[in-house]
């Protein structure tokens, strides 16, 4: 699996709404390899973002998420997850929906 060769840098954007994302959700793609499908992005949710309308999410890729700052509430699990916490989800694992009162920024890595 290959990807771009990038030495340390400060991500400065652009921040864009991901395809199909609800209001208040933006991402900044850090690295992407279209051949393999591997992708690393910072994702931020504005305060009061709620993904209830989208329901429970499932992906056909692996997803790793590290919460950088803020917190998010899992409406299914009735649990709040805060900065410093990590999730690793295999393909098909149900998760969410989510809400955040204060906003949240996360590092998200996806791969086949």
pLDDT at 2: 65
Mean pLDDT of 11-29: 93
pTM of the model: 0.92
pLDDT tens digits, residue range 38-83? Answer: 999 999 999 999 999 999 999 999 999 999 999 999 999 999 999 9
Q: What is the pLDDT of residues 86-104, one digit of tens each?
A: 999 999 999 999 999 999 9
CB-count exposure of residue 41 (10 Å: 0-12, 13-18, 19+): buried
Q: How far is CA 99 from CA 32, 34, 74, 106, 107, in A?
A: 27, 30, 7, 14, 17
- pLDDT exceeds 70 at position 1: no
Whole-number pLDDT of residue 35:
92
Output the pLDDT for position 20: 87
The predicted structure's pLDDT at residue 6: 86
């Amino acid at each position: 699996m290959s990807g771009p060769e990038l030495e340390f840098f400060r991500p400065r954007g652009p921040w864009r709404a991901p395809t199909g994302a609800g209001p208040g959700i933006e991402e900044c793609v850090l690295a992407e390899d279209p051949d393999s499908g591997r992708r690393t992005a910072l994702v931020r949710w504005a305060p009061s973002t709620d993904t209830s309308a989208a329901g429970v999410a499932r992906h056909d890729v692996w997803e790793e998420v590290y919460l950088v700052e803020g917190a998010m509430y899992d409406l299914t699990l009735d649990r709040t997850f805060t900065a410093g916490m990590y999730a690793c989800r295999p393909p098909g694992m149900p998760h969410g929906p989510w809400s955040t009162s204060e906003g949240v920024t996360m590092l998200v890595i996806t791969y086949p």
